[in-house]
Amino acid sequence: MKHLKFLLASIVVGSTALLSGHANAQISERTLRWAQQNSMDHPQGMGAKKFADLVEQKSGGKIKVRIFPGGQLGGDLQNVSALQGGTLDLMVLNAGLLVGIVKDFAVLDLPFLFNTAEEADAVVDGPVGQKLFDKLPEKGLVGLGYFELGFRNVTNSKRPITKVEDFQGIKLRVLQSPLFIDLFNTLGANTVAMPFPEVYTALEQGVIDGQENPVTVIFDTKFQEVQKYLSLTRHIYNAQSVIMGKKTWDKFSDEEKKIIQSSLDEAETYQRQVSRQKSTQVLEDLKKAGMQVNEVSPQEISRIREKIKPVVDKYTKEVGDALAAEVNAEITKKRGTN
């Protein structure tokens, strides 16, 4: 009997070792390159670091992620091309910047669409977010999840933005996105579409008067050194897409794909939490640094919304009424549970 128990135990141990060896064989040693525009201290960088740590841990140290922050590898659109070409593996960028590849991503950038970050979560974590990602593989990209950048606000060196007329004539850097260009041109600004790594120098040299970004980005990039006024317009909420080149993804075993996806899922939850905590903190830091911060009254927000209605209508039509209706249904459902 003892001999039989020993034999059975040996078989179990041997089988476990074989299974473990097989799983290990599914994981190759490799280093993945991740590009982003913000620093490692920004919530974007903190999310990337969390992802890298989880991937290394879950792969038993075999898969490492090397992060290139601060636009070291160029602007977002340049990095997207590198992903498609296979010379870069991963990146995180504003979801709306993918509109040149899949026009439907513009739905996430519609002005004043979301009242809260949680409403945006409901959209990107649901069927809409997945539908958008489903269109990427044929373009050489794979969507892994959505980080948060947050609500965008306007800074400039000329005057506070307290009413629609204050946009008039301000030379404003915007994202390299048709929607952003149309939006601020309609408000009377002179828009300059520019890659993010060039913005600080352009502000410092007076090439542009202002820019618009979430407060975490403003603080992280030290725009307070070259900008006097911060106006809390909250005109667009930015979800960020974490994407991988399909050429990289297709090289992975099923086991490696599970490690990458599960690590990103965990990092996504962490990153959003950190981003929301930091947004409150850095607003106070910007005030302490000497920026003049002003709210924009609900009445003026209503005037701004009325002014830009043609822009909203244009891009709603471009993405299609069905998709826009699906987004609005998710938001309505979320508001009903609050």
* Spatial separation of the C-alpha atoms in residues 160 and 167, rounded to whole Å: 9
12 vs 266, more confident: 266
pLDDT attached to residue 6 = 42
Least confident of 12-16, 235-239, 259-263: 12-16
8 Å CB contact between 166 and 205: no
End-to-end CA distance of the chain: 63
- Amino acid letter for position 206: G
Contact 55, 263 (CB under 8 A): yes
Backbone angles phi, psi at 126, to 5 degrees: -100, -160
Gap between the Cα atoms of 98 and 80, Å rounded: 9
Question: In order of start, what are the domains of the chain with their CATH numbers?
Answer: 29-337 (3.40.190.170)
Q: Are 211 and 173 in contact (CB under 8 A)?
A: yes
Distance CA(189)–CA(169), nearest Å, equals: 5
User: Which position has the token pair 């629609």?
Assistant: 164
- The total number of residues shown for the chain amounts to 338
Angle at 132 between CA 236 and CA 108, to 5 degrees: 10
Edge to edge, what strands does the sheet with 237-245 contain? 63-68, 30-35, 90-94, 237-245, 141-151
Q: Which two tokens stand for residue 64?
A: 């490492």
* pLDDT of residue 21 exceeding 60: no
Distance CA 113, CA 109 (A): 8
Is residue 88 a contact partner of residue 73, using CB atoms and an 8 Å limit?
Answer: yes
At residue 242, φ and ψ (nearest 5 deg) are -95, 115
| pLDDT, position 96 | 83
- pLDDT tens across 59-90, in order? 999 999 999 999 999 999 999 999 999 999 99
| pLDDT at position 25 | 59
Question: pLDDT tens digit string along 298-312?
Answer: 999 999 999 999 999
- CB distance 75 to 31 below 8 Å: no
Distance between CA atoms of residues 237 and 184, nearest Å: 15
What six digits make up the tokens of 130?
């997945």
Closest CA to 156 of 95, 98, 73, 226: 226
Q: pLDDT at position 16, please? A: 41
For 138-163, the pLDDT digits (tens) are: 999 999 999 999 999 999 999 999 99
**By the 8 A CB rule, do 111 and 117 touch?**
no
Q: Largest Cα–Cα distance in the chain?
A: 91
Residue 256 has pLDDT above 70, yes or no: yes
Cα separations (Å) of 226 from 118, 148, 208, 259, 285? 32, 25, 11, 42, 15
Q: Beta strand pairing status for 237-245 and 141-151? A: antiparallel
Q: Which residue has the tokens 């409150």?
A: 280
CB 162 within 8 A of CB 231: yes
- The pLDDT of residue 2 is above 50: no
Which of 2-16, 145-159, 222-236, 241-255 bottoms out in mean pLDDT, i.e. has the lowest?
2-16
Angstrom distance (rounded) from CA 50 to CA 28: 21
Confidence band for 5, pLDDT divided at 50, 70 and 90: very low
Helix 117-124 and helix 254-288, axial crossing angle in degrees, nearest 10: 160
